[in-house]
């Protein structure tokens, strides 16, 4: 098995060394301008152009629909072999792929390329909340699930709802007993938290830095395997507090299923170089993302593991899964 992997790696390196960059490059953002997919494409655009990995500017185009479903189906069915086209995806894309919202295509129908970075779930309360730790929140949930109102920017079944449901599960509470209020977005949910309309906001780590500086909120736990770097390094993870709840929100790219192996190898090798460059690290930090460097076969394995995990969660929480 190891020998095969080494041979495959050697072949990839050999192909990428001789393969030239595509004449024209494009990043498809599967949404309207603005938002996470646009940010993901702009990161690739800035990193590739700034690092002189491509000769001409990368074009960003928009293909909204179904948190990536329209773009996924279009690239596979109509544009499967475009060497210069990469498509942005997110953890939300993988969740929807897992529960069958991408139609007849599955996780094996594209070539997973590389990441741009990641965000992580965060359990946030007001600065004056009686919950001083995740343990306090769990105790309150266990004593009376109806006494704790969660709020977030997504309806039942969304990523933010899943974070709340997993916290409830970790407290030994049936998610059906959990009180949850859906908002249009994270900004509305944060406003509701500060106004006292909800007690807990299951948001994202990248959102809280500015609010922490203002002393308006407190983060009870980060839903990552390890502590995050920088300003959030003092905040413990849920895992280290005894609750193994993790929710990475990755942002990355895939290419069409019929893109030539040599072209795919060029993209993988180029991302490997771009992701470790100091210039890209600055771009990523400016967009509020954290390091999460993964490409090629490693990303392919990770994506497939995540989709399987999300499908299992979907069944557990009563959502429709393939």
What's the pLDDT tens digit per position in 52-111?
999 999 999 999 988 799 999 999 999 999 999 999 999 989 998 998 889 999 999 999
* Residues whose CB is less than 8 angstroms from the CB of residue 90 and which lie 6 or more positions away in sequence, other chains included: 36, 37, 40, 67, 68, 249, 250, 251, 252
Average pLDDT over residues 189-216: 89
What's residue 206's pLDDT? 85
CB-based contact 265:15 (threshold 8 Å)? yes
CB-based contact 232:222 (threshold 8 Å)? yes
- Does residue 15 carry a pLDDT above 50? no
What's residue 13's pLDDT? 47
3 burial class (0-12, 13-18, 19+ CB within 10 angstroms)? exposed
Domains 26-119+248-317 and 120-241 belong to one CATH topology: yes
Q: Three-class SS of residue 79?
A: coil
Q: Tens digits of per-residue pLDDT, 233-280?
A: 999 999 999 999 999 999 999 999 999 999 999 999 999 999 999 999
CA-CA-CA-CA dihedral for 74, 274, 17, 11, to nearest 10: -70
- Hey, what CATH topology would domain 120-241 get? D-Maltodextrin-Binding Protein; domain 2 (3.40.190)
**d(C-alpha 86, C-alpha 112), whole Å:** 10
Domain 26-119+248-317, CATH: 3.40.190.150
Give the N- to C-terminal CA distance of the chain in Å, as an integer.
30
Closest to 89 measured CA to CA, from 104, 109, 77: 109
What's residue 321's pLDDT? 54
What's residue 6's pLDDT? 46
pLDDT band for position 181 (cuts 50, 70, 90)? very high
188 vs 17, which has greater pLDDT?
188
Structure tokens at 112: 């997973």
- Does residue 161 carry a pLDDT above 50? yes
Residue at token pair 């490059």: 25
Structure tokens at 88: 């942005």
- Beta pairing, strands 200-204 & 111-126: antiparallel
- Does residue 10 carry a pLDDT above 60? no
What's residue 320's pLDDT? 66
- Does residue 16 carry a pLDDT above 60? no
CA atoms within 13 A on the CB side of 148: 31
Closest to 206 measured CA to CA, from 237, 232, 243: 232
For the four alpha carbons of 304, 247, 311 and 184, in that order, the dihedral sign comes to negative
Sequence spans of domains, the chain: 26-119+248-317, 120-241
What's residue 8's pLDDT? 52
DSSP assignment, residue 113?
A: E
- Does residue 294 carry a pLDDT above 90? yes
What's residue 150's pLDDT? 96
Q: Tens digits of per-residue pLDDT, 117-153?
A: 999 999 999 999 999 999 999 999 999 999 999 999 8
On average, the pLDDT of the chain sits at 90
């Amino acid at each position: 098995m190891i020998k095969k992997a080494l041979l495959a790696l050697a072949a990839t390196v050999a192909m990428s060394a001789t393969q030239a960059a595509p004449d024209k490059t494009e990043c498809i953002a599967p949404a309207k301008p603005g938002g996470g997919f646009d940010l993901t494409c702009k990161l690739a655009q800035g990193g590739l152009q700034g690092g002189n990995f491509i000769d001409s500017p990368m074009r960003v185009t928009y293909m909204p629909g179904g948190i990536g479903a329209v773009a996924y189906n279009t690239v596979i069915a109509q544009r499967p072999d475009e060497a210069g086209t990469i498509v942005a995806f997110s953890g939300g894309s993988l969740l929807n792929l897992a529960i069958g919202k991408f139609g007849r295509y599955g996780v094996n129908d594209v070539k997973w390329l590389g990441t741009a970075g990641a965000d992580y779930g965060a359990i946030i309360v007001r600065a004056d909340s009686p919950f001083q730790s995740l343990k306090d929140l769990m105790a309150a949930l266990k004593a009376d699930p109806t006494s704790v109102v969660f709020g977030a920017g997504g309806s039942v079944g969304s990523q933010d709802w899943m974070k709340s449901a997993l916290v409830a599960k970790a407290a030994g509470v049936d998610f059906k007993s959990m009180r949850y209020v859906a908002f249009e977005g994270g900004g509305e949910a944060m406003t509701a938290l500060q106004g006292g309309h909800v007690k807990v906001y299951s948001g994202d780590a990248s959102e809280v830095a500015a609010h922490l500086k203002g002393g308006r909120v407190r983060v009870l736990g980060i839903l990552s395997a390890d502590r995050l770097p920088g300003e959030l390094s003092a905040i413990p993870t849920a895992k280290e507090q005894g609750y193994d709840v993790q929710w990475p929100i990755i942002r990355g790219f895939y290419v069409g299923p019929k893109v030539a192996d040599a072209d795919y190898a060029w993209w993988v090798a180029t991302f490997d170089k771009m992701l470790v460059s100091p210039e890209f690290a600055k771009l990523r930090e400016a967009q509020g993302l954290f390091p999460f460097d993964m490409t090629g076969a490693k990303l392919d394995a990770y994506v497939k593991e995540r989709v399987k995990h999300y499908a299992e969660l979907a069944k557990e929480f009563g959502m429709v899964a393939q």
